[in-house]
Amino acid sequence: VKITIDGVTTDVEGGTILDACRRVGIDTPTLCYGDTLTPVNVCRVCVVELEGARALVPACSRKVADGMVVHTDSPRVRTSRRLVLELLGSSVDLSTAPEALAYIERYEAKPGRFGPESLTVAQPVKVDNELYVRDYSKCILCYKCVEACGVDHQNTFAIAIAGRGFDAHISTELDVALPDSACVYCGNCVAVCPTGALMAKSEFDLREAGTWDESRQSQVDTVCPYCGVGCNLTLHVQDRGIVKVTSPDDHDVTRGNLCIKGRFGYRYVHNR
Amino acid sequence: MTETTVRVAEGPALVLAGYEGEPLTSLAAYRAVGGYEQLEKARAQDPQAVIQEIIESNLRGRGGAFFPTGRKASFIPTPDKIAKPIYITVNADESEPGTFKDREIMLKVPHRLIEGCLVAAHAIQSKHVYIYIRGEYAEEYRVLQAALDEARDAGLLAGVEIVMHRGAGAYICGEETALLESLEGKRGQPRSKPPFPAISGVYAAPTLINNVESITTIPPVLAVGPAEFAQIGAPPDSTGTRLFCLSGNVARPGLYEVELGTSLRVLLELADAAPAKAVLLGGAAGSFLRPDQLDLTLSFEAAREAGVTLGSGVVIVFGEQADLVAALLRIAEFFRDESCGQCVPCRVGTVRQEEALHRLASGKASGDERAILADLTQVMRDASICGLGQTAANAVASAVENLGVFA
């Protein structure tokens, strides 16, 4: 199908407006979109102007159609992206969300404009197990963790959205602590979290101690030693110790996912 | 329960035809005014011909969006084109503040709604009808269920199953796709469109969703004939009558059926409205009119030209003594409370809107509030997923821009 984006007409074989934007080299901001997840189009930072549509449309989920004319940098688009970032920045702690912070700069968003009394989602961090922590004062409700825990990846359904409006939040069943929930500690939610609201306990502890330093970290790709699936692991190493384990998104079998053993069961390596 | 004034005020009675003070709740009473005759007539016709008649009448959706009802029905694939059941879902989750038209339809002419469902079911060849009724409508549920049982016992359903489903108190579930989610037992949150319900609605099957008033207007369309119906009201686009819900500073609050194209002034006189400093048209998601705008013609075109909406037929009169700022705060609180929280513009935007209004109202304004409200109005409208967020700033924006509140 033929689609015109910012004056450039291009031929694409289906896909979304976001796919087409990437094809023609337009950098579209995304927060709730993930390459391995079904688009939920809730963050609205990827909105674009589609000629003929009354409102802006989310690039991440809107399928291309022949003859579409799209503007990705019009004043309307910029205003929406800027305000969405201001709304997020004024209500959520984005200090460990580098992408969001970069977008705030790019769109010259001023989250402070709503004043010091603005309602936020600030709350104590939930540390209730040894493997990962949940700091929902950093949660932008992108749904990625819910998707990863649910039908997109893990099919465990340990978490969902509870509450309504500004009170909407990620919750385990009946808001029980993780050890009492259906969570299997695969950490696939941690892997997709774009803001650091979900964080490996190892990283959290180092950050608390002030010793987390990505500039001193190296990444080593290897294969998980536990079972025959052979998932790829990326070991994040600092000071000759593993501080975090991730898995590459572009692996066609695991798509960034691991199980509790691959993601968290590495301490034996240090058992010298 | 206090009785609501319900009257046919101007021109022909269509939706409320036959109602003269006594609710037509029994089958016998409804039959006595010609009830179910249109169903019989429709069933003798080819389904496509029935859709064609609705198209010809130019009946538009009465839920607020004014989409052509016949065209919507024509989007539903015929059973030979798709190996899925075809559904009808009636949106009876009437929750727009100031709206009580569907309530009165269900209480006064429940059989006409059922007849409309059955005609529509024949037209799109559906065997499955859901009526999603607002949870708080207990009496309405009982009356409609009783009428439904009577119609079923009389053999009128002819293989079509009509199932009532009660909501649980969320405004968002009046949004058609959130309604579908809720009906399926999920959290009431809007879906992303496209795909539209006509293609992928309830249980991912083709679904015709209509407001109670739209469906109830179908039998009258067939009764007067589509060509004749298309001449009633303000043709070509605003055909037929509408039920307007009058409340606020009026001596005779109630529901008034008038021809589209009637002047708002006439409606206000019927309800004996006090001199108004503002009128809220279309509900909390609607907009405020100034006293010099009260000669507005109640038609889709005239409303659009004036930059307002008839919405769900709400007319709330604010007399000289009314506290507009308090009303605005209440509206902002309403949207903040009813936002489902799915998308950022609405979830956080409705909070920031309320906060800015509180600052303006309490004299603690920083000076940026007008700019903040203007941004919120534009972005909630442009970037929210559904109609709730897209209209959540309408009333406030119109009060600021049109009435000059906080100026």
Question: Which band of pLDDT confidence, cut at 50, 70 and 90, is reported for residue A253?
Answer: confident
Position A198 pLDDT exceeds 60 = yes
Q: Which of B282, B334, B63, B333 is nearest to B175 (CA)?
A: B63
Say if residues B254 and B288 touch (Cβ distance below 8 Å). Answer: no
Whether A52 and chain B come into contact, CB under 8 Å, resolves to no
Whether A214 and chain B come into contact, CB under 8 Å, resolves to no
- Of all residues in chain B, the one with the smallest CA distance to A121 is B348
Rounded to a whole number, what is the distance in Å from the CA of A30 to chain B's nearest CA?
A: 13
Give pLDDT tens digits for B128-167: 999 999 999 999 999 999 999 999 999 999 999 999 999 9
Give pLDDT tens digits for A217-247: 999 999 999 999 999 999 999 999 999 999 9
Rounded to a whole number, what is the distance in Å from the CA of B326 to chain A's nearest CA?
A: 20
B258 vs B5, which has greater pLDDT?
B258
Distances (CA, A) of B274 to A84, B322, B388: 42, 11, 30
Res B3: pLDDT: 66
Whether B195 and chain A come into contact, CB under 8 Å, resolves to no
Residue that has been written with the tokens 């037992």 in this structure: B185
d(CA B244, CA A250): 57
Rounded to a whole number, what is the distance in Å from the CA of A250 to chain B's nearest CA?
A: 27
Beta partners for residue B243, in sequence order: B257
Q: Which of A82, A80, A56, A84 is nearest to A70 (CA)?
A: A56
Distances (CA, A) of B64 to B11, B112, B175: 22, 20, 11
Whether B383 and chain A come into contact, CB under 8 Å, resolves to yes
- Of all residues in chain B, the one with the smallest CA distance to A140 is B344
Question: Which band of pLDDT confidence, cut at 50, 70 and 90, is reported for residue B1?
Answer: very low
Position A14 pLDDT exceeds 80 = yes
d(CA B140, CA B138): 5
Give pLDDT tens digits for B104-127: 999 999 999 999 999 999 999 999
d(CA A234, CA B349): 39
Answer whether A47 sits within 8 Å of B383, measured CB to CB. yes
Rounded to a whole number, what is the distance in Å from the CA of A164 to chain B's nearest CA?
A: 5
Q: For strands B241-248 and B314-319, give the pairing.
A: parallel
Q: What is the mean pLDDT of chain B?
A: 96
Minimal Cβ distance to A84: which of B339, B345, B366? B345
Position A94 pLDDT exceeds 60 = yes
Percent of chain A with pLDDT over 90: 97
Q: Which of B326, B298, B322, B313 is nearest to B254 (CA)?
A: B313
Answer whether A44 sits within 8 Å of B355, measured CB to CB. no
Whether A145 and chain B come into contact, CB under 8 Å, resolves to no
DSSP percent split of chain A into helix, strand, coil, nearest 5: 30, 20, 50
Give pLDDT tens digits for B34-57: 999 999 999 999 999 999 999 999
Question: Which band of pLDDT confidence, cut at 50, 70 and 90, is reported for residue B4?
Answer: confident
Q: What are the chain A neighbours of B381 within 8 Å (beta carbons)?
A: 55
Q: What are the chain B neighbours of A79 within 8 Å (beta carbons)?
A: 375, 378-379, 382
Question: Which band of pLDDT confidence, cut at 50, 70 and 90, is reported for residue B224?
Answer: very high
Give pLDDT tens digits for B352-387: 999 999 999 999 999 999 999 999 999 999 999 999
Give pLDDT tens digits for A100-135: 999 999 999 999 999 999 999 999 999 999 999 999
Q: What are the chain A neighbours of B366 within 8 Å (beta carbons)?
A: 115
Position B201 pLDDT exceeds 60 = yes
Rounded to a whole number, what is the distance in Å from the CA of B107 to chain A's nearest CA?
A: 31
Rounded to a whole number, what is the distance in Å from the CA of B49 to chain A's nearest CA?
A: 31
Answer whether A113 sits within 8 Å of B372, measured CB to CB. yes
Q: What are the chain A neighbours of B355 within 8 Å (beta carbons)?
A: 114-115, 117-119
Res B105: pLDDT: 97
Residues 93-132 of B with CB under 8 A from A: none
Answer whether A61 sits within 8 Å of B192, measured CB to CB. yes
Query: B341: helix, coil or strand?
Result: coil
Res B165: pLDDT: 98
Give pLDDT tens digits for B301-356: 999 999 999 999 999 999 999 999 999 999 999 999 999 999 999 999 999 999 99
Backbone angles phi, psi at B274, to 5 degrees: -70, 160
Answer whether B336 sits within 8 Å of A84, measured CB to CB. no
E strands, B298-405, are: 314-319
Whether A44 and chain B come into contact, CB under 8 Å, resolves to yes
CB atoms within 10 A of CB B236: 10
Rounded to a whole number, what is the distance in Å from the CA of A225 to chain B's nearest CA?
A: 40
Say if residues A62 and A17 touch (Cβ distance below 8 Å). Answer: yes
Beta partners for residue A198, in sequence order: A134
Say if residues B164 and B199 touch (Cβ distance below 8 Å). Answer: no
Q: How many pairs of residues across A and B have Cβ atoms under 8 Å apart?
A: 111
Q: What are the chain B neighbours of A41 within 8 Å (beta carbons)?
A: 192, 343, 385
Question: Which band of pLDDT confidence, cut at 50, 70 and 90, is reported for residue B9?
Answer: low
d(CA B32, CA B40): 15
